[in-house]
Amino acid sequence: MPERHYLRPTGFVDAPFGLDGKVARLAGGLLWFSAIEIVTVADDRVARLELVPISDAEAAAERLGLTSTWRNLVAPRAALTLGSRTVRLDQPQVVGIVNATPDSFSDGGRFAGAGEAAEAGHVMASSGAAIVDVGGESTRPGAKPVWEGDEIERVVPIVRSLAASGNAVSIDTRKASVMEAALGAGAAMVNDVSALTFDPRSAEVVAKAGCPIVLMHHLGAPETMQAAPRYDGPVLFAVYDWLEARIAAAVAAGIARDRIIVDPGIGFGKTVQHNLQLLNGLALLHGLGCPIMLGASRKRMIGALSGEAGVDERLAGSIALAVKGMDQGAQLHRVHDVAETMQALRVWRGLRDAALAPL
């Protein structure tokens, strides 16, 4: 395969004061970077690395035919309009998870019915979640597909209750009919772990609705995705290329680019080492020009790195990964533990605000 070049923001600084022309703002957010790492991949390996100061970055990108990638790195991300709510993406936001399923890996079977699940969503919103993401089908490793009728029955009452109270609601599903039912009940965003590849009608549904869509990277189906996953070359660039292709497919289907969000799919067809490489290199994905959602909450990698801690013992690790994402500019953080993550976010934001206050 021919060489391919990538731009990764690096050399983050506390504040831009006195550094005119030496730093750039990342995706219109609260981070500034002083260099880009030009990564050249050839023959499924990293062939060259070059560290370029910001003063030379735009010219270097133009030389490599990556002008649009450079512009993506520094362009502000448009706010999300979700019903009557506006979710700004110039700062990190929390997305709360409500799984109305009997078998999700973390909170499956937690709720006795739609009323309890909806109440949990209301609590998440009152605790600071900008969006509540409702799902009715588990996509954990080994999970079996759920009939769309059952999925609709699980999610629609929850979506309707949350939306009626003015909350911004996302529907977590792979199925077009579930998307339609949830959007009709008041959901304003679709979160598709298959990135619109599972159901041939899903792209049409999203395009017609004009709603934001999360395209998540995955490798294989939930039933088999963790059976020795492997990639040709470094996982970070494989995920980048795959998401780039899915963005192009979504745009070709009539979905506005400024309504597309990308998710690297932590734990979806990845080993612990794959996940760590993605988290360390997460800032590279800003080159796609779309907001980034990070969903690392309570994932198995946390247990693997901490003496096989159980799902209910992974809060500290979940917050550590969320903060790692904030430090690389991820705009949306999909979590189970909203109140605790919001506390971490507020501390993170306080540090950033202090750094951005002129001395």
Q: What's the alpha-carbon Rg for the chain, to the nearest Å?
A: 20
Catalytic-role residue among 270, 299, 300, 314:
299
Phi first, then psi, for residue 51 (nearest 5°) are: -100, 120
Catalytic-role residue among 154, 174, 259, 334:
334
Q: What are the start-end ranges of the H helices in 64-195?
A: 67-74, 114-126, 148-164, 176-185
By three-state DSSP, how is residue 142 classified? coil
Q: What distance in Å separates the CA atoms of residue 228 and residue 224, rounded to the nearest whole number? A: 9
Torsion on CA atoms 224, 229, 233, 234, rounded to nearest 10: 110
Q: What distance in Å separates the CA atoms of residue 29 and residue 23, rounded to the nearest whole number? A: 13
Q: Is 175 a catalytic residue?
A: no
Q: Is 298 a catalytic residue?
A: no
Q: What distance in Å separates the CA atoms of residue 178 and residue 245, rounded to the nearest whole number? A: 25
Q: What distance in Å separates the CA atoms of residue 328 and residue 354, rounded to the nearest whole number? A: 18
Structure tokens at 103: 């078998």
By three-state DSSP, how is residue 314 classified? coil
Closest of 214, 271, 262 to residue 242, by C-alpha: 262
- Catalytic positions are 299, 334
